[in-house]
Amino acid sequence: MRDEINALYIPHHVMLTSRIILLPLFVTTLSLGTVFAPRQAGTWEFLKMSYEAYAFYAFYNLLIHYAGGPRALVADLSQRKHNIQIWAPNVSPCRCFIICYKIRRCDIMYNAPDVITYHNFKLAEKFVLQFCMLVPVFSVILIIIKESMLLETAMFISTVVCMYGLFIFMDLTHEVCAERGVSTHGKFVAMKVAIVFSSLLMTVLSFFLHTSYCGYDAHIITEAYGATISSFAMIPLAFMMKRVFPVEELEVCHMAPMDNPLGHPDTKTQADYEAQAASKIKGGKHSKEKRQSTIRNDAYAGSAGYDGILEDRFASAEDLGSRDVEADPLAEPVEIRRMSSAQPKHNFDL
């Protein structure tokens, strides 16, 4: 029931944006927990990495949502005249990866590198989703093992692959989002700073801090120092988030319906709202006109807002005024009956 209420009254892009801009607050809170309770540093780190992965996934969904959905984005880019280089061959670290795919001649990469299809779009999507799923798992394992160079290397590789996948989506959605008044470069930089900074910070500190202090081992001391630096670094990041996620973009509510990569719809169309409103009053003792008016009002309340409700009421008033007033007085508003009774009767018979 809660999801239905959110779908009716809170736009999907507003919910995604709120989860993203709360990232500095969560990171700061959990980092302070590491400083004041260093023996539970592994638990705090797991919670922090889990929310970072969740915010990253929300940011990916936000980009695709602004673009209208995966299939709508692919169809839009396929109709454009210029070529879209989805694999960014000019990025040096990824050249060997692209060459390997060309040699293997997979079905996904059988087309030219600058031709976007839905299949290679889904492959680029997996680059982002693997980070959201693997990083929390690696964090749980690190709580048990404490230190593992293999796991830290795997987390670093997962972060790099995710950044590359997100770079692809930023390049694909930039022009489409710009046409709708949404800028993506600043958002991408903010998310990159939030994720890469925390990952690289712990890697750099692990090379310099090797001594214990006050009964705490070197690993806990490294976590505490990293948490302190991260807490102060989140202050300018919070102002950056406020700048790159302006309130004006949240007012953009006329978004095309999209299909979620997990299989369920992210946004509801007008027909969905009408069907949901009809199911609420099904079986009630309402007249036909009253039931249709309620369906339209609930639908406009979910999709167009209060302006849609007023417009629908004015339309209903005109329809009722054109019909016989005495046919069904209970289904008519009081204002219509007052207006009809107050009008003087003229006799034009000569």
Tell me: the pLDDT tens digits for 205-253?
Answer: 666 655 555 556 666 677 777 777 777 878 888 888 888 887 777 665 4
d(CA 318, CA 323): 9
Question: Do residues 33 and 40 touch, judged by C-beta distance below 8 A?
Answer: yes
Tell me the residue type at 178.
A
Backbone angles phi, psi at 213, to 5 degrees: -155, 125
Q: Is residue 302 within a helix (H) or strand (E), and if so which, with residue range?
A: helix 288-303
Cα separation, 82 vs 292, in Å, equals: 47
Question: Hey, CA dihedral for 245, 52, 59, 84, is it positive or negative?
Answer: positive
Distance CA(213)–CA(209), nearest Å, equals 11
The total number of residues shown for the chain amounts to 350
At 4 the pLDDT is 56
pTM, entire model: 0.59
- What single-letter amino acid sits at 14? V
Structural element, H or E, at residue 134: helix 118-145
Neighbours of 154 (CB within 10 A): 15
Tokens of 132: 């959201």
Cβ count near 301 (within 10 Å)? 17
Q: What pLDDT is recorded for position 315?
A: 46
- For the chain of 350 residues, list the mean pLDDT of each consecutive stretch of 10: 57 80 84 76 81 86 79 71 48 46 38 56 81 83 73 79 79 75 80 75 63 61 73 82 77 47 41 51 49 49 43 45 45 45 48
* Residue 88 and residue 94 in contact, taking contact as beta carbons nearer than 8 Å: yes
Q: What is the domain partition of the chain in residue ranges?
A: 2-250, 270-342
Residue 61 corresponds to which tokens in the numbers above? 């969904």
